[in-house]
Structure 1
């Protein structure tokens, strides 16, 4: 069955009243690296959710945080608990989620918490979830899962790891009480692929800020960054994202090099020496001075301003759900050129331009975009920002989560 937020009623959406008093709903979140101070998609989501709900007397969050020692602290009125994770290589994430889940169960039992919700981000621990489901149901709780995107399709994983991801996803769906999908396409995929389990799903997207950067155009921090990178406002196309093959950096760079654009291509990304070496051999990056790898930017106000001042933004992600960097681009940059896949069209609609992976498609679109009038670009920007404000603002998203958690 398919739950629509705010309409359908089920066990998890009953009125929270116990003995004449309004009962506090406890929500345990595991699967992010933790808050504060991390800037991944899940980490930003948890940070914003707890920020917007920190004054709510009926919601109490418990957030698992990866750490070097076990401890507890308060942040945004959420109880954050660190889980010590040994250095055991790639399976650290699985160990972390299982250890956090054990911690949650023990805390719930010890404190006699009624009807808790365990919200698991990502599908890493499917083979273990059946056992935990029995324990959590016995404690009167429910398991909610956010499946993220198609993790099993990422090129960085070996074949055995991809198989594990796929099996794990299947078992997470099977043993959950509600699947919260951050993309309508992901929700459709879950419903069709795992229909034998009759999955209970709902759609709540990822969020984005709707304000402008607090930095001004003449802020020394911005000007110094431009000087260091050899850039200036409106002189560059931009991309921000993890430097991995499935984000289609090779196509974006190759097509930009084919284009006759006089602008530059600024790439804000993580370090991946092996992938960079591979692209250098294929594309001979050093021969085109327009291609600029400018490192990472963790200052969020600076990054927002860099987005605002970009002439255009490229987005090549194709295996995730609602992608944070896409929302941030649509909320900040007027001209957005997105890979034409369902996830991206679902978000951008008519507020962006779209390109395919065929030879010369993006290069042609870049040359066309270079000739756009200011009015045309502004019109696209207005549509993009309206889309974010109406459907993806953090306030709107946090309100939807309130409805799901409280009923």
Structure 2
């Protein structure tokens, strides 16, 4: 994988869906025309390595597209007859039922149709249609969609049973991470995991975990540097308030293989390891580029007066990692910084885990601004 890329690729796409309502058919056709106008190649039927799939379905019949390639980005598109009281709560299950990376809900607004974007990270933002301005509407949807759909995930894990025996039970750094998880819980910064088991079958859940590189749908993560090239990090889908077992709750990230691409993890030989947090590529890049940084905390919250990424790239993508690293490089002191992730949360760096909490206590805003 070439980590450096001047601009997002313009790849292949397809649209799937049957028995569409007039509004859904209008949306599908408008997006098809806009994508082709921007240089994307349309296929009537999906090819094995299709880059983008627009999966359009009635709200009472969510459809699933089973990817043949990990790089395929699926956008679920549906409509609801009226505005729900909580769009995120109403829309998030469609993200899972459609096995999608992103869902767009078409809802009636006061001045016309509204396209509500729902992301896996619980992001929610809106593009509004203005009468007689169809082209502008689909162009704006494209501008919000394309960077996400063309971003590159790093969610593969390579487990190597080469962790030093003296680290099988952790060290003083993993103890700091464990304490930090409890502090996040005490600060009410660990949202309850989404009840995914209530929505998906076990087979669908296994597919979602492979698809997103997740151990489950929990939120937030912590890491701390072990040495120049390695760092400890919380696992995916675990209770961050109870980080105890090395290789399952906390893992040692020992490298990155860009050819696969994959995160390399050193684990004890006697433990069935969990996947590391999907944000490991972001933390890896930060630690590599900023050796003075000793710890990182990511939470779905906000702080006033911080720099923020301009695009809400998905977790676990090269593009998000690069965007955060670039913003850190602009900070007066990258080792004591807070970077906002648009429509998502914050990445907080520090010399140590304890030092991070000394700085942020009392300054965290639980609600992430959406735009």
- The TM-score, its normalising length taken from structure 1, stands at 0.25
Higher helix proportion: 1
Higher strand proportion: 2
Rg: which structure is higher? 1
- The TM-score, its normalising length taken from structure 2, stands at 0.26
